[in-house]
Amino acid sequence: MFLLLAMLLTVSIAQQLPENACSQYFKYVLSETGDSQGEITLDLQNGRNRIDVRFSQRGYQNQDAVGSLLPYPDQMIVRTKLGAAQFRLSLWSDAQGVLPKLTRLTFNDVTLCSSSDLIFDRMNPNLTPSLNAQSAAECGQESLFSSFIQMGREYPRGMYPWLAAIYHKESFNLLFKCGGSLVSNNLVITAAHCVYMKREDRIMVSLGRHDLDNFNEDGAESRHVLRILNHPEYSTRLAQQPDADIALVTLDQPVIFNDIISPICLWEAAESEILDDIGTVAGWGTDENGNVLTRYPRDVRAKIVTELECAKKIKVRKVLGRSFCAGNLDGSGPCLGDSGGGLMIKRNNRWLLRGIVSLGQRSLVGICNNTHQYVLYSDLSKHMTWIKQNIGLSL
């Protein structure tokens, strides 16, 4: 008996085939009726077997863009056949005639092959990501790629292309410490406590990162740091009321914007007094199962609450006017490793950076206490003058 799990993808007739990094196990074929399909060949093990597949295709697609993975030619033959067993799923091409690309194949929790979500111009020059720097009007845009996942809470690569991973250089190792948000081609905003008292040569920033276990991930870019500028009013003495827990990290070389690396929009001064009730936070921090870090980033929505409600729950001396609280009090929310990431709000189809994850409450055994306490954020709307003065933007 075996269990089959594939993404519910459904993707029309193919004229062009994407690069195939899984050719040992996967190939594009035609059905008896001439329809495009994907075929996977695996040696099944005794007992239960699990197959997970992930595809990527440029453009926003219906979740029915790829069919269910089914035994081929039928379940009885696959169950009784010795040796390699085959499975197929239906595929439909996009408007340019390109089929979805297989980007990860996992068998019994072992990844057999993986590749970038990007589909490059070796198939079609019209699909080449732009190499031009984006203007301010283009910030806050999600990737044009759609990834299809059936299980888990991870989100598609490129959904938040400004998400940065900040590492500390410890001896000969790189240790992931915090998240951050790309706001220009060479500047990342994070929490000051993530880089406080650290020399520039002891910090590394990675953009386009999705798989935290694969530092050489295809498409990701790593940069050394030219300058760290902590907010002048940040102090470790304010650790219990982080009113200015913000740092600007300048990269030693600019990045080129593409589908998995692009900036988020800064909060607009005209909206500084508007308190939205729902934001989104993304990161690789500790999950509800106790994993210190998650391999793939996850996101969660968080309700922004009033200062009065915040003061009732969070254990600080005073909730200062340049910070705010958000949370659902249901166990969800940022945890260890999510510091420095942004609380994002979507307006007019653009994502804006509203706050920076600063301080959360932990229980006596060190577990994040998102059931009874809110998370405190540095309020970027109260710091926009300082931010813009230091990144050369006019108010």
Show which residues are catalytic. 193, 245, 339
71, β-bridge pairs: 87
Report the alpha-carbon distance of residue 66 to residue 56 in Å, rounded: 10
What residue spans of the chain are helical by DSSP H?
A: 75-80, 192-195, 307-313, 384-390
Record the tokens describing residue 382, joined without a space: 């109260």
Tokens coding 158:
């490129």
Chain centre to alpha carbon of residue 162: 9
Q: Which two tokens stand for residue 148?
A: 């299809």
Task: Please name the helix (run of DSSP H) or strand (run of DSSP E) that holds residue 72, with its range, or none.
Answer: strand 70-72
> Which residue from 163, 159, 132, 134 is spatially nearest to 144, judged by alpha carbons?
159
Contact 167, 173 (CB under 8 A): no
Under the phi-then-psi rule, with left for phi > 0, alpha for psi from -120 to 50, and beta for the rest, what region is 35?
A: beta
